[in-house]
Amino acid sequence: MNFSADLSLAFPQLILGVGALVLLVWGAFAPRSTTAVAGAAVVALLGAAFAAATGPMGRAFGGGLIADQASAFAQVAIYLASAVAIPLGQPWFERRGVRNFEFPVLILLAALGMGMMAASGDLISLYIGVELHSLALYVLAAMHRDDAKASEAGLKYFVLGALSSGLLLYGASLIYGFAGSTLYSDIAVAVQSGAGTGVLFGLVFLMCGLAFKVSAAPFHMWTPDVYEGAPTPVVAFFAAAPKLAAMVLFARALGQGFAGAAEQWQQVLVALALISIAVGAFQGLAQRNLKRLWAYSSIANIGYALLGMAAADQAGMQSMLVFMVLYMIDVTGFFACLAALSRQGRSMETIDDMAGLIKEQPGIAIAMSVFALSALGLPPFSGFWAKIYVFKAALGAGLGPAAVAGLVGSVVAAFYYLRLIKVMWFDASQGATDRPPAEARAIGLGLALFSFPVVLVALVWIDPLAQAAAAAFGLA
């Protein structure tokens, strides 16, 4: 084993790990340097993204860590989304009197865990990555300690997260017991040689634990409460990078470890996808709080990503990657706009608060409309092309009825997106809003620009990158 070669393959994770430790010590001894710590964390994330994009390919630490096109694609997207979360969140907390240097450090640790998830090559690195990023997310949810809802959100997330971790670990232990190895490559050989129902039984528990991490129904019970209670910039982070990391982990585990059992797990993915789409569409209709509404929207959108992955081929994995990257842009932008809005010092978080927003903040109102229409899947916005990829992959794999059901779910969900737009554009204003902070406004408007037809140009490079990354999942 060449230890120096292993370290070179793990260089992106080393940047984040060392960076988090250095910034933790720096912040502890210089507690007033929150802005400098935040800036250094952004630099570390951008450096890790560059290292992932340009680093060598191969397997490290006995196959436990994989540096390939899929991990590079996912890590770049994850680290860039994490970098956006810091300038969005740090000023938000400071305006509320919370000057904690720990916020960017926790983002770094979460990004480190997500990078390990995207590059995992066995069940041990899978579990370490999941737990490392989850522990950071639990603390981030309760970051605003003086807010009772935030504390409740962190507690609920921790308790239910512990349950999902138990399912995940139990499934991994069963797989190891019956397959005799934790490496995906060895598990694939055991499955091909007929390891028996024990491995598949463990796979069910593993999929249940991962379904919780991506908030797929019926394992979604934590999502609306955590989204509602957590600080808005933290929700912007929750809804983006961790979902992509968990979906890539999901795809890698199934594609590289259980390709020989594709017929079995494909049925489970289709069921998870359709239940998620139905729950997200119908339960979202009753929501008045925008954070809860977008929690159900995220559940439905994860259903579409799972539907693409259920195709169990490279086209399906490609559609999942494209869908998740474009969805990350929409959800981050929407919550950036939401973080920018307040009235008389009070956060605007309900649909009624948005009444007449076009008269008070026309730029933000237009951006939020773009994100809503994109999440709906209306052409020519980015969400339309994302769903085109998913439905095309599902139809190509013979999942026509599931694709039709997904399309019906989009029609149902259209009501709450269009209701929000109607309230912003046509209802009477509730009064003057506060001046929006520059950083949140810039992030929201910048991402809205990308969700316009400009995304057609971006797809020229997203598509081949996703296609190359999908080839690394090991499915024919």
Give the sign of the dihedral formed by CA 310, CA 313, CA 315, CA 321: positive
- Per-residue pLDDT 10s for the chain (476 aa) are 577 888 889 999 999 999 999 999 998 888 777 888 899 999 999 999 999 999 899 998 888 899 989 999 999 999 999 999 999 988 888 888 777 788 999 999 999 999 999 999 899 999 999 999 999 999 999 888 777 788 888 888 988 888 889 999 999 999 999 888 899 989 988 888 876 778 888 999 999 999 998 989 888 888 999 999 899 999 999 989 999 999 999 999 998 888 888 888 999 999 999 999 999 999 999 898 999 999 999 999 999 999 999 998 888 999 999 899 989 999 999 999 999 988 887 888 889 989 889 988 889 999 999 999 999 988 888 888 889 989 999 999 999 999 999 999 999 999 999 999 999 999 888 778 888 888 888 888 888 887 776 566 566 677 788 888 888 887 65
Q: Is 204 exposed, middle or buried (0-12, 13-18, 19+ CB in 10 A)?
A: middle
**CA distance linking residue 53 with residue 426, whole number of Å:** 46
What is the residue whose two structure tokens read 């990829």? 389
- Nearest of 214, 136, 205 to residue 173 by alpha carbon: 205
Tell me what percent of the chain is helix, strand and coil, each rounded to the nearest 5.
80, 5, 20
CA dihedral 197, 198, 201, 205 (to 10 degrees): -160
**CA distance linking residue 472 with residue 69, whole number of Å:** 6
Q: Which residue ranges make up each domain of the chain?
A: 261-476
**Which residues, in sequence order, are CB contacts of 331 under 8 Å at separation 6+?**
236, 239, 240, 294, 298, 371, 375
What is the residue whose two structure tokens read 């305006």? 95
- Nearest of 466, 444, 475 to residue 76 by alpha carbon: 466
- Packing angle between helix 69-95 and helix 438-451, nearest 10 degrees? 140
What are the tokens at 369? 């409309």
φ and ψ of 341, to 5 deg: -100, 135
* Distance, first Cα to last Cα, the chain: 30
In what helix (H) or strand (E) does residue 347 lie, and over which residues does it extend?
strand 346-347
Q: How far is CA 9 from CA 56, 66, 115, 122, in A?
A: 6, 8, 12, 16
C-alpha angle 69-72-73 in degrees, rounded to nearest 5 = 85
**CA distance linking residue 407 with residue 281, whole number of Å:** 11
Find out whether the peptide bond into 218 is cis, omega within 30 degrees of 0.
yes
